[in-house]
Structure 1
Amino acid sequence: MFFLRTFRNISKLTNSQIIFNFSQCRELRKITRPIFQDEKYAARKTVKSLKILSDNNSKRIQNSDEPEDQLPALPKAEKNYVPTFNLAASINKSECLQELIKLGVNLNSIEKRKGLAEFVLKLDFEKNIKPHLLFLHDLGVQSELLGEMITKNPLIFKEDLDDLEVRINYLQAKKFKDHQITRIVTKNPYWLMFPTKRIDKRLGYFQENFKLSGDDVRFLASKQPKLITYSMETIRKNMFCITEEMGFDLEELRCLLLNKPKLWMMNADELIERFAYVHNEMKLSHEMIVQFPEILMSREFRIRERHEFLKTLGRAQYDPHKDLYVSPKSLVSGNDQEFVTNVAKCDMRMYEMFLKTR
């Protein structure tokens, strides 16, 4: 069963917590029990790995006073941050940096994030990096994607391989397919930084609040892996906006989540602004919005410009049962030239003149 209790709001995550907080591994039976209510699956390999990990980390866990729900965000590039290390100056002297460049790692991006340049310079390629690369390769991560993954999250090399193995074993125990696991790790390099118990809680939140099946949870996690480790404060705020302020019911929520999970990662104010326009001005029903959720992914001014232009042409008609029907998806798809040609059925000069006179 997933852990389904209410969680505290999660603030921006910090480095030290990701590295030291693996959650309370002594509750092994709870962690390795099947996460989906309608499935029973024993994961002996996970149990064995968790026991090893528990022994290796018991002292570290006991000495940690950090709250379980406060996990960190990795360092981000700061606008006014002046790097104290210039990695480019050390390339000729460092075999490790040379190998990272061969992999396609962007050292300039790394040194813009506080503390990461110093960390990378201390790594030994054969000892600290190569084993992790082999681990990722065994998961099916393509070699051409390794550079991008390392650029985004070089702190993956700070994680013990036993810990990483446990987190993969957990997904396997919960019947995630190999291609789903590969996509999760590739699309969200930070996933493996999260302890197994926390991932279990996050998946449990979505299963409970959206009444998802086991297959739905696996589909969601692999379709948009970033959502599972995203800020819970943002997710809860958007959940309130979509249900209470926009008025979508549970079934509509589930459809929106599985089709466009990124809606729960957007700015809530912008999301409400877009909904207000398409629902109140364009008269799109909740059913139509659920059928074409792409309309909520487009910027409000872009929707407004194209809708008003279609109105001047007498083509702003979104009822599929009437003539001159325009799909809400086609309204926001493609560039201006494609919109003018395929939807407005006119020439680009007319659209440009319209934009100048607005």
Structure 2
Amino acid sequence: MMQKTATSLLRRTFHKPVLSAHPSCVIPDHSIIRSRGPTLHCTYYKRHKHEESSFPLSTALHTQMPFSKFDELLPQHIETETPRIPFKSDSFAHFIDSSKTLQALALLGVELYKIEEKHPDTLNFIVSLDLKDLKSKIEFLVNFGIRYTEIGGIITKWPKLLDPKRDTQQFEEIISYLIDKDFEKKEILALINRLPMALTMPVEVLDGMLGHYQRLPTNRGEKPLRFSNAEVKSIILRCPMLLRANLRLIYEQVRTLELSCGFTLRQVRRLVYINPWILLKDDKQLELLYKFYSRELQLSANEIADFPGCFGTRIQKVLERHKFLKHHGKAQYFRDQPGYVSLPDLYSLSDNDLCAKFSLGTVHDFKKFIKTAC
């Protein structure tokens, strides 16, 4: 992981919001214009890129040792030099040799180049962090049950966890709230891994989001889609991204299912509960899939609603398979007739299994057909 990060840092320079140097970094007295040159001398990575597998720390990360021992071991693998670095920069590479914090993050598996790309607004405070700023938050996560090997991925996904304006008390409030909502510890751990942002949400915002999905608005204002606490929990655990979704777009998606697709409220509720990702799917793709199933395959809304997973695929995939079945005279989607092809057969089977189950030849035949006929 560290080698991958190093390579990416050495090869990339991004023109992002300017970083201010950490006070502990040794910087020349004169002002240097922000560097845009391709040459980056990252000696920390050069020194250690072939040694990662021999680090005792690598083994320690997989043993889930007590945090106190980990805290003692980590500084032994951090070395700093005093390279020439500018007052301001658009890359972590200028700071890695002189920043113990960045080295610690790299050792924990944080992919710094991804933070540069996806979270440029966090760069300034990250290079200003001290090791002490990291310790309390990492210790909190580890003591709660997060594994050391998971910390890097969590911080990479949501580096705002390290914002010095946030403290572990906010994390405790969120966890206490989720426990009150009957989330089990393993479910909270899964949620943190998949959506670390949840730890930085104000409790009232999180409560409002969960309440919204408990009574999901529809086109009929007086008849929302109602879900129990247990059902909402299940929906969120399977699709955590709903917690950061635009609620207006969620409402429009429900309207699309109800009005454009013609599903009843009971059917929309079933679709949402079984496949909550449907609320995040592009509405045009959703309509195209519905029209394909209803017009081309001549399926009723009831038959489509029986298989909510059919909206989790790409229109191109099912269209190609339908044409191949039709080419062989086997595009038969009516349950009461021989040779029935179910919707799950069409969207969930692998190419090889589809060809074998319906005697369509080989995968090579299918690929050749796609190139020539589709």
Band of TM-score, shorter chain: 0.7 to 0.9
Which residue in 2 is equivalent to 1:97?
102
Which residue in 1 is equivalent to 2:191?
184
Which residue in 2 is equivalent to 1:152?
157
Deviation sequence 1:283-313 (CA, Å, 0-9, x none)? 2222332222222111112211111111121
SS in 2 for 1:115: helix
**Match for residue 122 of structure 1 among 122, 128, 153:** 128
Is 1:357 the counterpart of 2:363 in the alignment?
no
Which residue in 2 is equivalent to 1:222?
237
SS in 1 for 2:262: coil
Residue 310 of structure 1 aligns to which amino acid in structure 2? L
Is 1:193 the counterpart of 2:209 in the alignment?
no
Deviation sequence 1:302-356 (CA, Å, 0-9, x none)? 2111111111212212233322122211211254334323445322343234221
Which residue in 2 is equivalent to 1:164?
171
Q: Closer, same or farther in 2 for the Cα pair 1:181/1:312, shift >3 Å? A: same
TM-score, normalised via structure 1 length: 0.72
Q: Distance in 2 between matches of 1:251 and 1:148?
A: 39
Contact 2:137 2:167 in 1 (8 A): no
Is 1:303 the counterpart of 2:318 in the alignment?
yes
Which residue in 1 is equivalent to 2:329?
314
Aligned length: 275
Larger Cα Rg: Structure 1 or Structure 2?
2
Which residue in 1 is equivalent to 2:79?
none
Which residue in 1 is equivalent to 2:212?
205
Which residue in 2 is equivalent to 1:131?
136
Structure 1 runs, 4 residues or longer, greater than 6 Å off: none
SS in 2 for 1:262: helix
Q: 5+ unaligned residues in a row in structure 1: which ranges?
A: 1-82
Which residue in 2 is equivalent to 1:42?
none
Q: Distance in 2 between matches of 1:265 and 1:98?
A: 37
Is 1:140 the counterpart of 2:155 in the alignment?
no
State the identity as a percent.
Answer: 28
TM-score, normalised via structure 2 length: 0.69
Q: Closer, same or farther in 2 for the Cα pair 1:179/1:141, shift >3 Å? A: same
Is 1:341 the counterpart of 2:356 in the alignment?
yes
Q: Alpha-carbon deviation of 1:153?
A: 0.9
Q: Alpha-carbon deviation of 1:116?
A: 2.1
Residue 357 of structure 1 aligns to which amino acid in structure 2? A
Q: Alpha-carbon deviation of 1:119?
A: 1.7
Q: Distance in 1 between matches of 2:215 and 2:287?
A: 24
Q: Closer, same or farther in 2 for the Cα pair 1:141/1:290, shift >3 Å? A: farther
SS in 1 for 2:361: coil
Q: Distance in 1 between matches of 2:89 and 2:352?
A: 47
Trace 1:29-44 onto structure 2 (pairs within 5 A). none
Q: Distance in 1 between matches of 2:194 and 2:106?
A: 21
Trace 1:38-77 onto structure 2 (pairs within 5 A). none
Contact 1:318 1:326 in 2 (8 A): yes
Q: Distance in 2 between matches of 1:226 and 1:154?
A: 17
Q: Distance in 1 between matches of 2:140 and 2:332?
A: 54
Report which structure shows greater RCO (CA 8 Å, sep ≥6).
Answer: 1
Q: Distance in 2 between matches of 1:84 and 1:340?
A: 55
SS in 1 for 2:215: helix
Which residue in 1 is equivalent to 2:65?
none
Residue 137 of structure 1 aligns to which amino acid in structure 2? V
Contact 2:328 2:360 in 1 (8 A): no
Residue 212 of structure 1 aligns to which amino acid in structure 2? F
Residue 253 of structure 1 aligns to which amino acid in structure 2? V
Residue 303 of structure 1 aligns to which amino acid in structure 2? V
Q: Closer, same or farther in 2 for the Cα pair 1:322/1:110, shift >3 Å? A: same
SS in 1 for 2:169: helix
SS in 1 for 2:196: coil
Q: Alpha-carbon deviation of 1:218?
A: 1.4
Q: Distance in 1 between matches of 2:212 and 2:352?
A: 42
Residue 373 of structure 2 aligns to which amino acid in structure 1? T
Q: Distance in 1 between matches of 2:260 and 2:326?
A: 28
Deviation sequence 1:103-159 (CA, Å, 0-9, x none)? 11111111223232222111112x221221222223332322211110111111222
SS in 1 for 2:101: helix
Q: Alpha-carbon deviation of 1:172?
A: 0.9
Q: Closer, same or farther in 2 for the Cα pair 1:139/1:254, shift >3 Å? A: farther
SS in 1 for 2:207: helix
Deviation sequence 1:13-57 (CA, Å, 0-9, x none)? xxxxxxxxxxxxxxxxxxxxxxxxxxxxxxxxxxxxxxxxxxxxx
SS in 2 for 1:190: helix
Q: Distance in 1 between matches of 2:105 and 2:93?
A: 12
Which residue in 1 is equivalent to 2:59?
none
Contact 1:139 1:181 in 2 (8 A): no
